[in-house]
């Protein structure tokens, strides 16, 4: 009887997961591919970066932004140095004659959310109508700003999430992260496509300054180190329903790097998962719990299969359905990113995901973690 109950629950969770992934696929498809208008944009933009110990690579990001195909008089670049202990400020200062503005964060009291403080400081100084946030280790093409602002001018969204993709991988581990990250970007876009925004990435996020100020900035979510992107998205979606968009354009992609080792990867994912304690939308919470329970069932049944052969067939069915559904979804995402060669990696990740997701689901909601050389929560 117990075996029958476990099998029925497991199959129910499996089919629920497959349906959810197919819903994600339709959500991605609901978002039309965007092509920027030919006419020049007229919106004044402030590009914001919070940087800490990025002296080695930040010059590449600055040069990419300064090279944008966007009217020079209509955008500014503001970078906040968040207590760097290397030469980050000096690198930024070397671009002062090109209009790059530097703010040096100098807080006398310890904070838990230095990044939110840095972004808020930049917005206080910003002269733009549209804030466009990215990270200090990102790369972008010359039409990046033009694509995002064109969508803003056409649709008048209060917040625009745009794609982020890993590149320049050096190992199988990094390529596995790229595939998983494409799933996450697709997950966020699909939620927007279904008018239920759930997640986004602060490395490529735009929002109106007046909306940021009207919502009190990061007030109410500033007790967590992370969440300057996803939790602020929730604030906008809750207060201004239907005003969140996704820029589905290849020229709008921002590129960054996967984590080079397991320790840094786990720390990053723990930070991302820590934001879930602040979720207020019950539909998003229910979705996260259902997906987590599905992975619990996979791990449990795999373990039981070593002792009861009846569970072996169940595990095979579960993984086959999981693999097929994810392949169906990721085929769209890898095509968009011109990375279809990554699909073969799903053969490995589909078996590793349950262990990783169960672990992250537990540790992401407990304890502190290291971020940028600090212990935060």
Query: What number of other Cβ atoms are within 10 A of residue 4's Cβ?
Result: 9
Residue 251 CA to its chain's centroid (Å): 17
Does residue 57 register a pLDDT over 90?
Answer: yes
pLDDT band at 13 (very low <50, low <70, confident <90, very high): very high
The C-alpha atoms of residue 263 and residue 2 are separated, in whole angstroms, by: 38
The C-alpha atoms of residue 241 and residue 281 are separated, in whole angstroms, by: 13
Render pLDDT for 148-196 as a digit per residue (tens, 0 to 9). 999 999 999 999 999 999 999 999 999 999 999 999 999 999 999 999 9
List the beta bridge partners of residue 41: none
Does residue 358 register a pLDDT over 70?
Answer: yes
Does residue 368 register a pLDDT over 80?
Answer: no
Q: Which CATH superfamily is domain 32-265 in?
A: Spore Coat Polysaccharide Biosynthesis Protein SpsA; Chain A (3.90.550.10)
Q: Which two tokens stand for residue 186?
A: 């697709």
More confident residue, 340 or 276: 340
The C-alpha atoms of residue 190 and residue 186 are separated, in whole angstroms, by: 6
Calculate mean pLDDT across residues 232-260: 96
The C-alpha atoms of residue 377 and residue 363 are separated, in whole angstroms, by: 11
pLDDT of residue 79: 97
The C-alpha atoms of residue 80 and residue 108 are separated, in whole angstroms, by: 16
Render pLDDT for 203-242 as a digit per residue (tens, 0 to 9). 999 999 999 999 999 988 877 777 788 999 999 999 999 9
Residue 168 CA to its chain's centroid (Å): 18
Q: Which letter, b or e, does each residue of 258-285 get, where b requires 16 or more Cβ atoms within 10 Å of its Cβ?
A: bbeeeeebbebbbbbbbbbeebeeeebe
Return the sign of the alpha-carbon dihedral for residues 184, 190, 196, 201. positive
Tokens 């649709």 -> residue: 155
pLDDT of residue 377: 60
Render pLDDT for 320-334 as a digit per residue (tens, 0 to 9). 999 999 999 999 999
Q: Are 166 and 318 a contacting pair, CB within 8 Å?
A: no
Q: Side-chain half-sphere of 275: how many Cα atoms within 13 Å?
A: 24
Calculate mean pLDDT across residues 249-272: 92
pLDDT of residue 375: 60
Crossing angle between the packed helical segments 282-304 and 346-363, to the nearest 10 degrees: 120
pLDDT of residue 110: 65
Domains of the chain, residue spans: 2-27+281-362, 32-265
Average pLDDT, the chain: 91
List the beta bridge partners of residue 135: 50
Percentage, residues of the chain above pLDDT 70: 94
List the beta bridge partners of residue 34: none
Q: Where are the alpha helices (DSSP H) in the chain?
A: 2-30, 58-66, 88-93, 114-125, 144-155, 172-193, 209-214, 230-239, 262-274, 282-304, 310-336, 346-363
pTM for the model stands at 0.92
Calculate mean pLDDT across residues 306-311: 85
pLDDT of residue 230: 92
Render pLDDT for 108-136 as a digit per residue (tens, 0 to 9). 666 667 889 899 999 999 999 999 999 99
Q: In 3D, which of 220, 253, 279, 231 has the Cα closest to residue 336? A: 253
SS3 label, residue 306: coil
SS3 label, residue 374: strand
pLDDT of residue 374: 62
């Amino acid at each position: 009887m117990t075996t029958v109950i476990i099998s029925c629950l497991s199959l129910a969770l499996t089919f629920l997961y497959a349906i959810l992934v197919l819903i994600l696929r339709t959500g991605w498809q609901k978002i039309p591919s965007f092509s920027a208008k030919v006419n020049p944009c007229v919106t004044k933009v402030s590009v914001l970066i919070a940087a800490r110990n990025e002296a080695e690579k930040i010059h590449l990001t600055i040069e990419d932004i300064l090279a944008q195909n966007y009217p020079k008089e209509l955008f500014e670049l503001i970078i906040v140095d968040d207590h760097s202990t290397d030469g980050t400020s000096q690198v930024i200062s070397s671009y002062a004659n090109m209009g790059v503005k530097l703010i040096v964060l100098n807080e006398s009291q310890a904070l838990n959310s230095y990044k939110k403080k840095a972004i808020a400081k930049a917005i206080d100084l910003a002269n733009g109508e549209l804030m466009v946030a990215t990270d200090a280790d990102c790369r972008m093409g010359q039409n990046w700003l033009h694509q995002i602002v064109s969508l803003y001018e056409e649709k008048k969204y209060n917040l625009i999430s745009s794609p982020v993709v890993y590149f320049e991988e050096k190992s199988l581990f990094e390529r596995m992260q790229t595939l998983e990250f494409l799933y996450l970007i697709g997950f966020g876009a699909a939620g927007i496509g279904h008018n239920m925004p759930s997640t986004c990435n602060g490395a490529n996020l735009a929002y109106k300054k007046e909306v940021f100020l009207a919502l009190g900035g990061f007030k109410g979510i500033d007790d967590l180190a992370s969440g300057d992107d996803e939790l602020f998205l929730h604030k906008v979606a809750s207060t201004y329903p239907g005003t969140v968009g996704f820029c589905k354009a290849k020229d709008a992609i921002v590129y960054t790097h996967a984590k080079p080792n397991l320790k840094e990867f786990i720390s990053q994912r723990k930070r991302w998962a820590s934001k879930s304690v602040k979720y207020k939308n019950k539909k998003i919470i229910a979705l996260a719990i259902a997906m987590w329970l599905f992975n619990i069932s996979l791990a449990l049944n795999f373990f039981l299969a070593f002792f009861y052969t009846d569970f072996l067939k169940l595990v095979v069915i579960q993984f086959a359905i999981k693999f097929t559904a994810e392949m169906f979804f990721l085929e769209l995402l890898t095509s968009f990113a011109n990375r279809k060669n990554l699909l073969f990696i799903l053969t490995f990740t589909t078996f590793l995901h349950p262990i990783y997701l169960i672990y992250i689901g537990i540790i992401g909601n407990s304890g502190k973690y290291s971020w940028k050389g600090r212990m935060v929560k």
